[in-house]
Amino acid sequence: MQPIVLIHGGAGTIAEELHEAALAGVSAAAEIGRRALQSGADAVTAAVAAVRSMEDEPAFNAGRGACMNADGDIEVDAGIMRSWDRRSGAVGGVRELRDPILLARLVMEQTPHCLLVGQGAEALARRHQLGHFGRAEVETTKARERWLVARSGQGARDNRADTVGAIALDHRGHLCAAGSTGGVLLKIPGRVGDTPIVGAGFYADPDLGACCCTGVGEAILTHMLAYRALTLAAAAPEAASARLRALCAEISAAHAGAAIGLILLRPDGQRVLVHQSDHMSWAVADGEQPVIAGLRRE
Ligand code: GLY
């Protein structure tokens, strides 16, 4: 099997001055995932490495630089699923954690559960001495400025996009889907979106493939987008891109023009990257070929 890594840096409207950083960030993540696969790592390790690199990059709404909730606190979500045994793990509403994808992986690999939230998730991380917690680990001056502007009512929109995600296909044909987010700027404390919800924000299956979604969580949750996209693509592989583009448009229209996007990889390596938003930064590392990346809608 030719290893492949697909990356997204979130659907939404990205300010012009952040385009370069977003493209550099997704390209670097694709390369990091590919190098992991080339060195013999499995799909889970490759997808986690790719997402971790984007959690550290403040151009994205995840980990360091994640957006703030209505109280000015930072609560993050993350989810991961591997195809071969359909195990998944996720965390929601975790405060001030820079690397929540590591905690989601821990839930998947070392607990009998799929989703832990809030204090329980934080306690698990501490028991395993995992993760970087603290305001200084996650807050950036830019994120605080965006929060102050949004709170004053001068502009509620973040000037980055939503969420980061990665899909890896390894030499054995195993797939992994992983995502991480700060959620929505000014969200009500405790709000959890699609990113840690299996079947909505992400899914991986040996027969269907893997999918990571991005955009307004409430719209994605309502439509169980990740699983639905995979079944649609499996039913008509030759028309997958067109059908999924139409599905994103349909969901967006039903949710007041919400940004919606997804990346999807089928077990045979066929890929789909679509979005109904001004931008979605994305990158692909396919075998030995140079990484390709983009940001605008076709
Ligand atoms: N898509 C991320 C969120 O809505 O929280």
CATH number of the domain enclosing 252: 3.60.20.30
Average pLDDT over residues 149-170: 83
pTM above 0.75, yes or no: yes
Predicted confidence (pLDDT) at residue 215 exceeds the cutoff of 60: yes
Q: What is the CA radius of gyration of the chain?
A: 17
Ligand 1 contact via 184 beta carbon (within 6 Å) = yes
Residue with tokens 């606190």: 73
Question: What residue type is 199 in one-letter code?
Answer: G
Token pair for residue 16? 């012009």
Q: Any residues with CB less than 8 A from the CB of 167 and at least 6 apart, and which?
A: 4, 5, 6, 47, 175, 176, 177, 178, 204, 210, 211, 212, 263, 264, 265
Judged on CB neighbours under 10 Å (0-12, 13-18, 19+), 39 is exposed
13 a catalytic residue: no
Residues 257-279, mean pLDDT to the nearest whole number: 96
Task: Give the pLDDT of residue 297.
Answer: 79
Chain CA centroid to CA 239, Å: 24
- CA of 206 from ligand 1 middle (Å) equals 25
Work out the mean pLDDT of the chain and round it to a whole number. Answer: 96
- Owning domain of residue 31: 4-294
- Mean pLDDT (whole number) for 83-88: 98
| Mean pLDDT (whole number) for 139-156 | 87
Ligand 1 pocket residue status of 58, Cβ below 6 Å: no
DSSP code at position 40: T
Taking 80 as the threshold, does the pLDDT of residue 158 lie above it? no
Cβ(122) – ligand 1 distance below 6 Å: no
Q: Compute the distance between CA of residue 8 and CA of residue 17 in angstroms, rounded to an integer.
A: 18
Mean pLDDT score, 226-241:
98
Strands 75-82 and 175-181: antiparallel
Would you state the pLDDT for residue 154?
79
pLDDT band at 155, cuts 50/70/90? low
Over residues 54-73, the mean pLDDT reads: 96
Helices and strands per DSSP (H, E), number in the chain: 9, 13
Q: From the alpha carbon of 193, which atom of ligand 1 is closest?
A: 5
Mean pLDDT to the nearest integer, 125-151: 95
**Is the pLDDT at 246 greater than 90, yes or no?**
yes
161 confidence band (pLDDT: 50, 70, 90): confident
Averaged pLDDT, 161-167:
91
Interval 222-246 mean pLDDT:
98
Q: Shortest CA distance to 174 belongs to which of 227, 210, 199?
A: 210
Nearest to 209 by CA among 72, 83, 74, 51: 83
Residue 156 pLDDT > 60, yes or no?
Answer: no
User: What's the rounded Cα separation, in Å, for the pair 272 and 47?
Assistant: 17
Is the Cβ–Cβ distance between 69 and 90 less than 8 Å? Answer: no
Domain count, the chain: 1
pLDDT at residue 144 above 80?
yes
pLDDT band (50, 70, 90) for residue 15: confident
Q: What is the mean pLDDT of residues 53-66?
A: 96
Q: How confident is the model at residue 270 (pLDDT cuts 50, 70, 90)?
A: very high
253, 263 Cβ separation under 8 angstroms: no
Give the C-alpha separation, 170 to 232, whole Å: 23
- Using a 6 Å cutoff on CB, does residue 164 contact ligand 1? no
| Angle 210-215-218 from CA coordinates, rounded to 5° | 100
Q: Are 230 and 108 in contact (CB under 8 A)?
A: no
Distance 15 CA to ligand 1 centre (A): 19
Distance 132 CA to ligand 1 centre (A): 22
pLDDT at 153: 85
